[in-house]
């Protein structure tokens, strides 16, 4: 009798051990699944971050290349506020000549001029998508003739004039863009005009 009870007890303990073993195995399996799920989630997050970083870097490189391909250089845009003739300029222009900022309400007629113009009038032309070509008064007459010939190919949106305040022999100005060089370069000038003509913040035919 005692033997039978001992065997039953051993059998019962054995069953308990097996149940405990199965429970531990199930917990290990669940823990493995949870670890695998967390690992996959982390991997997805890392991949997403890498993809986003690649997209941002690609966009930066594209924008940098796109900017490098544009003629001239960008100049920060200043407030396009109207001021009255004779009124002091409220601030300092960021370029020479200015390519945005405070200007008069009146524009300059399109075309070529032999006399210097008022910056604040022509800035308004730039706001309307015009191109202002200026040259130092002491440049060779042949250069001036070439500039006039080129400007004459455009019926509108081009202003050509001498400007003694220039720090380069030839300067091309558009709204927010500037290009300066020392000699007549027809291809360079036409590329600038093509890129920025009619591209001002206010479109006026």
Looking at 22, 37, 69, which one is the last position of a domain?
69
- Same structural domain, 85 and 57: no
205 falls within a domain = no
172 falls within a domain = yes
12 falls within a domain = yes
Number of structural domains in the chain: 2
Give 11-57 pLDDT, tens digit per residue. 555 777 777 777 887 777 877 777 777 777 777 877 777 777 666 55
Provide the 10 A C-beta neighbour count for residue 67: 10
Residue pair 42/149 in contact (Cβ under 8 Å)? The answer is no
The Cα–Cα gap between 124 and 108 comes to: 8
- Rg (C-alpha) for the chain, rounded Å, is 37
- Same structural domain, 83 and 170: yes
What's the domain range around 167? Answer: 74-196
Kindly report the CATH number assigned to the domain that includes residue 118.
3.40.30
- Same structural domain, 105 and 191: yes
Tens digit of pLDDT at every position of the chain (205 positions): 555 554 555 555 577 777 777 788 777 787 777 777 777 777 787 777 777 766 655 554 444 445 567 999 999 999 999 999 999 999 999 999 999 999 999 999 999 999 999 999 999 999 999 999 999 999 999 999 999 999 999 999 999 999 999 999 999 999 999 999 999 999 999 999 999 999 999 989 8
The Cα–Cα gap between 97 and 75 comes to: 11
Q: 164: helix, coil or strand?
A: coil
């Amino acid at each position: 009798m005692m033997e039978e009870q001992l065997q039953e007890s051993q059998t019962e303990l054995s069953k308990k051990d097996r149940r405990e073993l199965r429970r531990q195995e199930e917990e290990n399996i669940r823990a493995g699944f949870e670890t695998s799920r967390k690992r996959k989630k982390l991997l997805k997050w890392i991949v997403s971050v890498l993809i986003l970083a690649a997209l941002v870097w690609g966009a930066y490189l594209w924008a940098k290349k796109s900017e490098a391909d544009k003629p001239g250089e960008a100049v920060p845009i200043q407030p396009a506020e109207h001021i009255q003739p004779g009124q002091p300029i409220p601030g300092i222009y960021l370029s020479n000549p200015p390519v945005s900022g405070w200007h008069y309400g009146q524009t300059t007629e399109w075309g070529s001029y032999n006399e210097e113009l008022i910056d604040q009038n022509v800035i308004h032309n730039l706001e309307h998508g015009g191109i202002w070509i200026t040259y130092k008064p002491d440049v060779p007459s042949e250069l001036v003739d070439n500039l006039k010939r080129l400007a004459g190919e455009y019926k509108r949106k081009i202003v050509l004039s001498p400007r003694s305040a220039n720090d380069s022999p030839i300067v091309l100005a558009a709204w927010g863009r500037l290009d300066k060089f020392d000699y007549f370069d027809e291809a360079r000038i036409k590329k600038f005009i093509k890129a920025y003509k009619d591209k001002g913040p206010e479109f006026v035919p």
